[in-house]
Amino acid sequence: MSATLPVDAAPAGRSPWRDARVRFMRHRAAVASVFILALIALACVFGPMLLPNAFDSVDWNLMSAPPTRAGWHLFGTDELGRDLLVRTLIGGRISLLVGVLATLVSVTIGVVWGAVAGFAGGRVDSAMMRIVDMAYAVPYLLIAILVVTVFGRDILLVVAAIAAFSWLDMARVVRGQTLSIKSREFVEAARAIGVPTWRIIFQHVVPNLMGVVVIYTSIVVPGVILSESVLSFLGLGVQEPMTSWGVLIHDGAAVMGATPWMILFPAAALSITLYCANFIGDGLRDALDPKDR
Amino acid sequence: MITRHKPSLARALATLALAVAPCALVQAAVIPPGTVLSARQEMVRNNGSEPESLDPAYIESVPAGEIDRDLFEGLTSTDHHSNVVPGVAESWMQVDPTTWVFKLRKNATWSNGTPVTAEDFVYSWRRFLDPKTAAKIATTYAVYLANGMEVVNGKKPVTALGVRAIDAQTLEVRTAGPVPFLPAVVSVAQYGPQPKAVVEKFGKDWTKPGNIVSNGAYVLKDWQVNSKVVVEKNPGYWDAANVQLTRVTFLCVEDGNADLKLYQSGEEDYLYQLPPGSYNAIKAQYPKEVRIGPLLGLRFYALNNEDPLLKDLRVRKALSMVIDRNILSEKVTADGQAPLYGLAVKGLGSIQQTRYDWADWPMDKRVAEARKLLADAGVKPGTKLKFTYNNSDYHKKMAIFAASEWKTKLGLDTEMDSLEFKVLIRKRHDGDFQVARHGWVATFNDATLFLALIQCGSEVNDQRSCNRKADELIVQGNAATDPAKREALLTQAARIAMDDYPIIPLLQYSVPRLIKPWVGGYDEANGMDRYRSKDFYIIKH
Amino acid sequence: MWAYVVRRLLVTIPTVLAVVTLCYVLLHLTPGGPFDAERKVSDAVLANLQAKYHLDLPLWKQYLYYLRDLLHGDLGASFRYADWSVNDLVARALPVSLAIGGTAMAVAAVLGVALGIVAALRQNSAVDIGVMLVANIGSVLPSFVLGPVLVLAFAILLPLLPSGGWDDFAPRYMILPIALLTLINVSTIGRIMRGSLIEVLSSNFIRTARAKGLPMRIVVMRHALRPALLPVVSIIGPLAISSITSAIVTESWFSIPGLGKLIVNGASDRDYTLVLGLVVLVTVMAVLLNLLVDLAYAWLDPKIRY
């Protein structure tokens, strides 16, 4: 006769994603940032549809007007009498779109490039990094002019032109980290038991890179958005009457002394978005840190 | 042409007339009696951009010309009222319609002591127009001298050029056809003298400080690319007694806002040009230091006369009629530019301004008429129009205004194409545009410079317009010896040409600037906007 | 290791050649040329201009001429600045950009590392958030906003410094531009430092050191700092290059005669020789700097071997 001991249910497994979420929540600024960013994105997407003013309707009688409740000109008007609230929101669409797309493209290319180069070492590393060196030396402006003149103006081209130069830094950073990671014990161990290289790279090296990659991604984002404004200013990015935060800020900077609201609102929108991106980046890094148990 | 002049009204007409004996025109700084001068006569002046060269043969831009007119004095010069005054030449005479004789003064010397002779001018002009020198702007000025174009095009040797030294102090100039305004032509910096021995000795480096030798009121002291050019008073200059400023620093700041900051923090005395859109605010802030005056320049839109949509005159007329130039002037640009309804700008020599008859109609009437014209031409609302301009905040604003006028009043959809400047001019030259932004500023004060814009086959006629009758009248006008007759003929030519609506005239340029109150010698009525440093002086402050 | 250094230096030559060739082709493909002007140039003059600059030859021949001159250290004549050779222009602009960009990099590195350390040590606290807020000013506001703000604050409202200009390396003209560039770079360095240090601080050997009872200060300075600096060092190379060669907004706003201005003007004026000369310069600088960075890796992480 044997009394069966109660068998405890297997302890609930701790999913690493749940851990990550918990760690993320600990970073208060990051959590707040997620909400703020979501709010901004929603405003940019839906706001212009709900507001009465069009983003390109000029009003010669209301040029450079300060913010006022009348006519829903809550952010004032620009030098051509166009409503700045709507323009800031429409501009946000472009800036956010370019920011996200260009960042995604450049991060992907950069991580893959850097990880492969760092891990392969030797001649392959040398060759790949020399290509990066070469890409640095090419004048960005020249390529941008050429691309636009040959292929015409297109928002996707702007994304491509910006991404083409933003992946370089990421590749360097990732390669540096990879060099360090690949000489660690767990990688030696994996190699010793015969794990195929590609698996080592993607299952062992890359997760350990995530911290730096995430941080650097949130550094790339402002750079990308600002590059877009420089390109637009040179006539290579968004074309009038479409606008972006970068263009609005650039136009507003010129008249900062006399009509400060023209720069205040788009600059605030950009800064808040970028601060949020930064904090989210820091939070994600904390969350995805494989060593923080 | 982006060179700048301001009109000097009737005076210009008088002085540009035939035989000019030297009047008692003041040569340098006119100091009002009772002015107390500062002990320190130095000035820092923003010149707008880095000079492409200081060699008279190679300069093209206005800023480079300003520095060169201090270093090299030509046969004639222009003062701060934009009057033509004697330079190295103390007198001149037009002996027949195409021949002039200039008498050089005996005490004109180079800064190394050697005298300036007529031979210097022969050498310099030949070098300037020699195709081997490859001076890009040679064609612009060659057209006035006998055999000038042939020499530039390599068809005749340089010795065939219509300039000859009769003796050390006498220079004979033969022109290709009558050029009543020749004294104004030879005052430009490109026709200045070059020191042959120095040029041959140092080659490309002859303009560097230490090598360069000049005959003007100033010598080159220092030249730091993209930073500053410093000139100092030339003690051997024949009029040195009347030159007040001992040292002038030319800055090359292109950005209007950066320029403004330098002025506000006291780093410079003379601002090149106010940033666009800031005029009203600055006028309120610095009422006594703001100076503004009209420039001899025309802002316009070139219309491609060969384009399928625009080749119908009615379409071109409609586009021009509906633009409200008053709003453009008062609200959009808001910096004192006057609306224009014709080719000639105010103060331009030898021509009267013309004005479209509809310029005074109320806008409703203009719009109704324009719509009718478009309907007659078969252009429906919703038709697309391509507008090309170079990227700059200023042009962008004007372009948006025009697009909005065409949309709201005519229902046309304008596609905006903002390009880099070099690409824009390429497209204009190649005819690859429908409507393109354009501007034209005079290098010296004569109507022919603007008439060139609409002459058949002219190399600056990007819009490819042609009116044979107008061309004929221009030729007749240039052959006329009576200035009043010339003026009448040229005015008539402009009127006829503009009735074809080849371009859309918009505004006359203005120059809004800031100048410190202790700088004397500036004249807002100077429509050419050319100042020699010897015309300025510093008041005690 | 010296063999490695020599190998890297030798590789500079093909790298420069490859970049120059690429840029050469790109320049000639870009629409608009150096002689495009408001007025059309007469054919005879154009022919002579092209002959003077070898532009009438087939592209590959021009290229060979250029290479031959390059090997003699002659970067050619500038189109835009007609009285000067490219060698002259670069020789004058480089020290200026080096002084401003180099100093800014050094200051930003020190400040950024310090701020990153403080933030990492107080992770998730108010101090962390506060420090990061301040450090990030330079990355959320574009330089064409920060520049005017700096000038407004320190040159106009408080007339302490000139609002721009240059006078032969006089320090007072250098302070604001260096401040601007530093602000912009400190945020990148600070954030990477923070993230990297946090990671390192949670690794085993640090835990061991702390378990041994070592004070935090020693733990950080002697043990954690070196490996944590790796990503920071990775980024210093590119940041330094861009601070020195692409500080165009800073240079325009403060009217500084540096390399950024030459590059931008060269590209927009299609000044072939100037652009190519600058490309050569930037390539050589990039290669050298990256070599230094890679050598620094080996010093920071003894397990990295070349």
In the DSSP assignment, the letter for residue B213 is: -
Angle, CA of A114, A120 and A126, to the nearest 5° = 70
Condensed to tens digits (0 to 9), the pLDDT of residues C134-186 reads: 877 877 777 778 888 888 888 888 888 888 888 888 888 999 999 999 988 88
Residue A63 lies inside a defined structural domain of this protein: no
A233 contact residues in B (CB cutoff 8 A): 391
Q: How far is C150 from chain B (nearest CA, A)?
A: 11
Q: What pLDDT does A1 receive?
A: 47
Q: What CATH number does residue A48 fall under?
A: 1.10.3720.10
Residue A80 lies inside a defined structural domain of this protein: yes
Closest in B277, B281, B396 to A240, CB measured: B396
Q: Which domain holds residue A174?
A: 18-52+75-292
Q: What pLDDT does B13 receive?
A: 42
Cβ distance of C32 and B55 shorter than 8 Å: no
Q: Which of residues 183-202 of A touch C (CB under 8 A)?
A: 183-184
Q: What pLDDT does A180 receive?
A: 82
Q: How far is CA B260 from the centre of its chain?
A: 24
Q: Which of residues 180-209 of C touch A (CB under 8 A)?
A: 187-188, 191-192, 194-196, 198-199, 202-203
Question: Which two three-digit tokens encode residue B285?
Answer: 């802030």
Question: What is the percent of chain B with per-residue pLDDT over 70, rounded to a whole number?
Answer: 95
Q: What pLDDT does B4 receive?
A: 41
Cβ distance of C279 and A137 shorter than 8 Å: yes
Q: What pLDDT does B532 receive?
A: 93
Tell which residue, B509, B309, B498, B253, has the closest CA to residue B395.
Answer: B509
Whether the CB of A149 is below 8 Å from some CB of chain B: the reply is: yes
Q: What pLDDT does B234 receive?
A: 95
C77 contact residues in B (CB cutoff 8 A): 204
3-state SS, residue C221: helix
Concatenating the DSSP letter of every residue in B167-192 gives ETTEEEEEBSS--TTHHHHTTSGGGS
Inter-residue contact B269 to B250 (CB < 8 Å): no
Q: Which chains touch C (3 or more CB pairs under 8 A)?
A: A, B
Q: What pLDDT does A7 receive?
A: 63
Q: How far is CA A204 from the centre of its chain?
A: 25
Please give the model's pTM, rounded to 2 decimal places. Answer: 0.85
C262 contact residues in B (CB cutoff 8 A): 226
Cβ distance of A219 and C144 shorter than 8 Å: no
Residue A7 lies inside a defined structural domain of this protein: no
How far apart are alpha carbons B133 and B154 in whole angstroms? 12
Question: Which two three-digit tokens encode residue B106?
Answer: 């005996």
Closest in C41, C80, C151 to B52, CB measured: C80
Residue A115 lies inside a defined structural domain of this protein: yes
Residue A60 lies inside a defined structural domain of this protein: no
Asked if residue C38 has pLDDT above 80, the reply is no
Condensed to tens digits (0 to 9), the pLDDT of residues B204-229 reads: 899 999 999 999 999 999 999 999 99
Residue A70 lies inside a defined structural domain of this protein: no
Condensed to tens digits (0 to 9), the pLDDT of residues C291-305 reads: 888 888 888 877 776
Question: Which two three-digit tokens encode residue A133?
Answer: 């060196």
Cβ distance of C156 and B460 shorter than 8 Å: no
Q: How far is B254 from chain A (nearest CA, A)?
A: 14
Tell which residue, C252, C248, C238, has the closest CA to residue C282.
Answer: C238
Phi then psi dihedrals of residue C71, to 5 deg: -65, -25
Residue A110 lies inside a defined structural domain of this protein: yes
Q: Which chains touch A (3 or more CB pairs under 8 A)?
A: B, C
Q: What is the pLDDT along chain A (293 residues), one digit of tens a residue?
A: 455 566 665 666 666 667 777 777 877 888 898 999 999 999 999 988 888 877 777 777 777 788 887 777 888 888 778 888 999 999 999 888 888 888 899 899 998 898 888 888 888 888 888 888 888 777 776 677 677 666 666 777 778 878 888 888 888 888 888 888 887 877 888 888 888 877 877 777 777 787 778 878 877 887 787 777 767 766 667 777 788 888 888 788 777 777 888 888 888 898 888 888 878 877 887 777 655 54
Whether the CB of B153 is below 8 Å from some CB of chain A: the reply is: no
Q: What pLDDT does A13 receive?
A: 60
Tell me which H or E stretch contains A118. helix A84-120
Tell which residue, B402, B419, B257, B435, has the closest CA to residue B333.
Answer: B402
Q: What pLDDT does B301 receive?
A: 95
Cβ distance of C45 and B255 shorter than 8 Å: no
Question: Which two three-digit tokens encode residue B231?
Answer: 């000139």
Highest mean pLDDT among A141-145, B172-176, C124-128, C202-206: B172-176
Whether the CB of B20 is below 8 Å from some CB of chain C: the reply is: no
Cβ distance of A145 and C304 shorter than 8 Å: no
For chains B and C, count residue pairs whose Cβ atoms are closer than 8 Å: 142
How far apart are alpha carbons B177 and B92 in whole angstroms? 18
Closest in A26, A137, A214 to C282, CB measured: A137
Handedness of CA B344, B347, B351, B354 (dihedral sign): positive
Inter-residue contact C119 to C221 (CB < 8 Å): no
Q: How far is B539 from chain C (nearest CA, A)?
A: 24
Closest in B390, B400, B417 to A58, CB measured: B400
Cβ distance of B393 and A241 shorter than 8 Å: no
Q: What pLDDT does B63 receive?
A: 93
> The complex's ipTM?
0.85
Angle, CA of B295, B299 and B301, to the nearest 5° = 170
Q: Looking at the DSSP assignment, which residues form a beta bridge with residue B91?
A: B103
Q: What pLDDT does B21 receive?
A: 42
**Least confident range of B94-98, B281-285, C27-31, C257-261:** C27-31
Asked if residue C75 has pLDDT above 90, the reply is no
Q: What pLDDT does A10 receive?
A: 60
- Say how many domains are in chain A: 1
Condensed to tens digits (0 to 9), the pLDDT of residues B239-294 reads: 999 999 999 999 999 888 889 989 988 899 999 988 877 888 889 999 999 999 89
Residue C306: pLDDT band (50, 70, 90) is low
Cβ distance of C83 and B153 shorter than 8 Å: no
Q: What pLDDT does B27 receive?
A: 52
Residue ranges of chain B whose pLDDT lies below 50: 1-26
Whether the CB of A262 is below 8 Å from some CB of chain C: the reply is: no
B423 contact residues in A (CB cutoff 8 A): 149
Tell me how long chain B is: 541
